[in-house]
Amino acid sequence: MMEDVLKKIFRYDQFRDGQREIIEAVLAGRDTVAILPTGGGKSICYQLPSYLQSDGLTLILSPLLSLIEDQVMQIKSRGERSVAKLTSLESREQKEQILRQVDQLRYLYLSPEQLAVPQIQRRLAEVKINLFVVDEAHCISQWGHEFRTDYAKLGPIRRGLGNPPCLALTATATRQVEHDIIAGLSLEQPERIRHSVNRPEIQFIVEHTDPSEKDAVLQTRLKTVNRPCVIYTTTRKEAERIAFFLPHAAYYHAGLEAEDRQLIQQQFLHDEIDCLVCTSAFGMGVNKGNVRTVIHYTMPATIEAYMQEVGRAGRDGQLSTAILLFSPGDQQLQHFLVDKQYASVLWIDQVARLRHQGESFDAIERRLRLDPDEPAYRLLKSQLMEGKTQEDIIGWQEERKKIRLRELMQMINYIQNTSCRRAFILQHFGEPPIIQDRCCDNCGTLTTDAPLIETETEQLDWKRRLEEVFFSSRHSV
């Protein structure tokens, strides 16, 4: 029965690892936490059960507009019309119309911000919800690398909707994050399905360079690595700068017009561009099997983010390479970015005082010239609206920063680790080590395009630099 639907509707011959278990748990009405690797076919797990149920709605919470758009498009392209989305992009009229007809729908995609709207909750409470899906569920955890305050409200909202069965999905979660997902969503004795984060087809390399040599090293590597290739940078500016000096490279970041992003993504998907320089904005929902190399020009802030980005290589199961370039001082940028995500104490004090004097947020924004879309300010505003005190907010932020810096330290430990990198990553996610060929630069058995050919003296030099890096980073982070 399940196989028939898989073939007829989704045009797949067989289930991938984990999919059947998840669908069976969902059909049995059980709460489920599923940790599936990126590209493991998560969407089928919540889209398929609906065809085996006579009626009812599948509600899908997703943190990113681009992800929602992409999913709705895919569903429509297979001929399924009973799908809609509620995001900040729909007009009021559109939203009202969708809500009127919501009992006719099979799937409704929502951003967590929209689900927080009382009017939407009231309407949804009137219809039968078969499944409450939380995609990218790690966003609920303060320990997760993409913590979202809106996600913290999902547990109570789900209860308000009559506690429909819940499926929480994520690609990467440590035991702590898994625990937070279960607690945050109030899952009852959930089925836990966890697949190894290991990607045996990817070999891991870290290359230490001087800051002044990094561009040259990148250029040299690009001559030997296999393509298509994705190069991750931290900032938009950097993505553009690098794309300009690399031949035949394009850049992609969230600052581009939606149309341009779409175009570049399509060209990359169709192998018209074989080198893409991008920020972390690229990748979620992009399904390209043959990416052979992922290079990190700058380190991501967490091992979770690193694995998610690296996981875009080798989805076809063919040998692929992940290279991380590291220069002493790279961690300072990440440190700075962590700080930037939170309002300064001075800011909090000013805004809180004006609020206390009865000023509206609009007036405060004008007076202090605050950008209402600035993330640190938005976070502060939402906390003040929740009635948190200034002390609460400052204390909470300090705690958050500590967590983020600890995560950053783990990433630095990965870079400086001199034993097997795969084992390090697996241990981070609570998994035992795996011994395999073509593993990592520390195991030293790379056989394809691995660009590590070093003489003895270079190795010594490399070790010396490593010590320097470790020493400096311990003092700066």
Nearest to Zn ion of 177, 446 (CB atom): 446
Nearest approach, Cβ of residue 32 and Zn ion (Å):
32
**Contact call for residue 443 and Zn ion (CB under 5 A):** yes
Give the whole-angstrom CA distance, residue 25 versus residue 73: 27
Minimum Å gap between C-beta 464 and Zn ion is 22
**Contact present, 193 and 34 (Cβ < 8 Å):** yes
**In the complex with Zn ion, which residue's Cβ is closer, 218 or 439?**
439
Residue 300's CB is within 10 A of a number of other CB atoms, namely: 22
Q: Which of 352, 364, 370, 420 binds Zn ion (CB under 5 A)?
A: 420
* Residue 6 or 425 with smaller CB distance to Zn ion: 425
Instruction: Supply the minimum distance, in Å, between the C-beta of residue 459 and Zn ion.
Output: 17
Candidates 19-27, 76-84, 370-378, 435-443; binding stretch for Zn ion (CB under 5 A): 435-443
Closer to Zn ion by CB, 370 or 443: give it: 443
The partner residues of 204 in beta bridges, in order of sequence, read 322, 440
Which residue lies nearer to Zn ion by CB, 364 or 425?
A: 425
Please report whether residue 422 would count as binding Zn ion according to CB under 5 A. Answer: yes
Shortest Å, Cβ 303 to Zn ion: 15
Q: Which residues of 131-153 are buried (b: 16+ CB within 10 A; e: fewer)?
A: bbbbbbbbbbbbbbbbbbebbbb
Half-sphere exposure of 216 (CA within 13 A, CB side): 5
- Only one of the segments 21-29, 60-68, 392-400, 436-444 lies at the binding site for Zn ion (rule: CB under 5 A); that segment is 436-444
Give which of 187, 59, 186 is closest to 129, Cα–Cα.
59
Question: How many residues at the interface with Zn ion, by CB under 5 A?
Answer: 5
**Can residue 393 be called a binding residue for Zn ion (CB under 5 A)?**
no
Q: Which is nearer to Zn ion, 149 or 196 (CB)?
A: 196
Give the integer Cα–Cα distance in Å for 192 and 36: 11
The residue (of 61 and 411) whose beta carbon lies closer to Zn ion is 411
Of 45-53, 170-178, 195-203, 413-421, the window that binds Zn ion (rule: CB under 5 A) is 413-421
Contact track, Zn ion, 169-198, x by CB under 5 A = ------------------------------
C-alpha–C-alpha distance, residues 60 and 358, integer Å: 38
Residue range at the interface with Zn ion (CB under 5 A); choices 37-45, 249-257, 412-420, 457-465: 412-420
Provide the minimum distance between the beta carbon of 298 and Zn ion in the complex, in angstroms, as a whole number.
23
Cβ atoms of residues 408 and 421 within 8 Å: no
Cis before 63? omega within 30: no
CB of 147 to Zn ion, least distance (A): 30
d(CA 161, CA 245): 53
- CA 61, CA 154: separation in Å to the nearest integer? 9
Dist CA 197 CA 303 (whole Å): 12
Of residues 376 and 440, the one with the C-beta less far from Zn ion: 440
Q: Does 440 engage in binding with Zn ion (CB under 5 A)?
A: yes
Stretch that binds Zn ion, among 32-40, 92-100, 247-255, 421-429 (CB under 5 A): 421-429
Output the smallest distance, CB 322 to Zn ion, in A: 12
The smaller minimum CB distance to Zn ion, of residues 57 and 440, is found at 440
For Zn ion, which is the closer residue by CB, 32 or 321?
321
Q: Least separation, in Å, of the C-beta of 422 and Zn ion? A: 5
CB of 420 to Zn ion, least distance (A): 3
Stretch that binds Zn ion, among 168-176, 294-302, 305-313, 440-448 (CB under 5 A): 440-448
Give the nearest distance from C-beta 200 to Zn ion in angstroms.
Answer: 11
- Smaller CB separation from Zn ion, 364 or 420: 420
Residues lying near Zn ion in the complex (CB under 5 A):
420, 422, 439-440, 443
